[in-house]
Amino acid sequence: MILLRFFKTNKVVLSCIDSPRRDFGWRLLMAKKLADQGISTVLGKPHDIFLILSILRKALVFGRFGGNTGRGKFDVDLVKQIELTRSSMFFLHDEGAFYYKEEYESAVRRIYPEEYFSKPFLKKVFFWGDRQRSIFNGVYEDCSLDVSGAPRLDYLRFLLAKKPGKPKTDAKFKDNYVLICSRFAGISPARDDVSLISDNFLNIRVETEASSETSVGDLFRQQVKRWCSVSIDRAHFIDAIYDLAKSYPESEFIFRPHPGEDASLYRTLYRFLDNVIVDKSGDLSELLQEACLFIHSESTSGVEAAVIGVPSINFSSREDGGHTVAGASEVGEKVKDFNELRETFTRLLTNPKSSLQEDSQVLAPYVKNSTSDFNAIDKVNGDIVGHFDKNSTRFRISVHSLNKNFWFYLLRKLVYFFRSMFNKVGYEDKSSGFNKRFIYKQWRRIGGKSGEIKILFGFVFILPRKTL
């Protein structure tokens, strides 16, 4: 029945999600607000969104493409399908701001496919901050380049304001725990992510830089050098955290690996420390809000801590500034070795203090909503409402859109579906955030009612109340 009601709607946003554990929360909040204004949302993996797109006309695709750069084979097929169905796209990348200083401009150009900016289907490109926006100077007839901020930060503020002083929601953790986040997925990826030195990652570089004078071998050499640098960073970080936890046996440390990182190594390394729990489940936002202190290593999670006022320590052992992460390396209390970590940790435990005002000034060029003066979700939703004031979606099946690409991706979905019956997604895999239980929990956290959301065949449907 939900599908029949869905096809009666005339305003549909197709929201592509690549990193569910990190992004489902704010996507659901955004969809809930759109439903209040009569707009339906379908959330799903990009390959699944392709299938829904094929049976609609004048839908709006929101988010990033399937690949990190938007230039892979699937992304070319997706663009063709968007154009074929006379649909439009609002582009917002979930990794929109923080890259190595020495290659900042090339990294931004890598994930924002400028060659699409002049195509009529792309109506808006949202940048997290003015720093990224300033790299693109062209004027495009059908596409506007806007600065929106990062929606996840407003989602965090929403949760924080929703239940101030709320009791702990997870009884398995003690009060006043210290949260630690790592960021080393590139050298120790989870089963369903890629390594910095894998062919898949190299192909991403080749897709975006094949026209340059740099050879494939030289591109790979750059990746090897980065892999080595990150490996050294991780070794120092692991060692310092081990000594810190051993020095403070009365404190509980929750060690959370990156969503795309293999957690098994950390369980092995810290298995004799009774006060360290390696836990990758759930959404970071819940853990972050309830932590008394946050420790990271130039992670974007440190930005989230800064925005909601959680005291943080930023550990980096490198003296060389070239491989520091612009923006993310500058927030929180900076330390470079165990002695500095221990001194800062002791001081912040006894006198918790967040450098919120200072950090906000540092972050402002990279993330417009680093302060609460600007709301990214409201900005994006306002533009979506404005788009649908001029356009209406309609259901339509035609031989042109149900083409060979449609049948290929439908067959692909069926293969993956039957494979999942025998090869279950692990709860620590990157894609485990598409689990129904996880999604429903996120929906309830933002005040959503069970009758307002339906999950079918891997698609999440959120419709305006009047159509349910």
Reported as a pLDDT band with limits 50, 70 and 90, residue 343 is very high
pLDDT on residue 38:
92
Written as six digits, the tokens of 76 are 């070319």
Residue 332 contacts by C-beta under 8 Å, 6 or more apart in sequence?
Answer: 294, 296, 302, 305, 306, 311, 312, 313, 314, 355, 359
Reported as a pLDDT band with limits 50, 70 and 90, residue 167 is very low
Q: Is the pLDDT of residue 166 over 50?
A: no
**Strand, coil or helix: 352:** coil
Contact (Cβ atoms closer than 8 angstroms) between residue 45 and residue 16? yes
**CATH class assigned to 154-370:** alpha beta
Sign of the alpha-carbon torsion through 188, 193, 199, 202: negative
pTM: predicted TM-score of the whole model, two decimal places? 0.86
| Element housing 5 (H / E) | helix 2-6
180 forms beta bridges with 255, 295
pLDDT, the chain, mean: 87
Q: Which amino acid is at 97?
A: A
Contact (Cβ atoms closer than 8 angstroms) between residue 87 and residue 59? yes
Q: How many residues belong to the chain? A: 468
Residue 200 contacts by C-beta under 8 Å, 6 or more apart in sequence?
Answer: 194
Between 261 and 193, the more confident residue is: 261
Tens of pLDDT, residue by residue over 186-199, are 888 877 677 888 88
Between 85 and 3, the more confident residue is: 85
Q: Is the pLDDT of residue 173 over 90?
A: no
Between 429 and 287, the more confident residue is: 287
Q: Is the pLDDT of residue 141 over 50?
A: yes
Distance from C-alpha of 298 to C-alpha of 315, rounded to nearest angstrom: 7
Between 64 and 165, the more confident residue is: 64
Candidate from 8-17, 299-308, 352-361, 362-371 with smallest mean pLDDT: 352-361
The residue ranges of every structural domain in the chain are 2-149+375-467, 154-370
Burial 393-412 (b: 16+ CB within 10 A, else e): beeeeeeebeeebbeebbee
Residue 150, Cβ density class (10 Å: 0-12 exposed, 13-18 middle, ≥19 buried) = buried
Between 207 and 327, the more confident residue is: 327
Arithmetic mean of pLDDT, 114-142: 93
Q: Is the pLDDT of residue 431 over 60?
A: no
Reported as a pLDDT band with limits 50, 70 and 90, residue 160 is confident
Candidate from 75-84, 264-273, 416-425 with smallest mean pLDDT: 416-425
Of 105, 144, 339, 346, the C-alpha closest to 236 is 339
Tens of pLDDT, residue by residue over 281-303, are 878 888 888 899 999 998 888 88
Written as six digits, the tokens of 454 are 């339906």
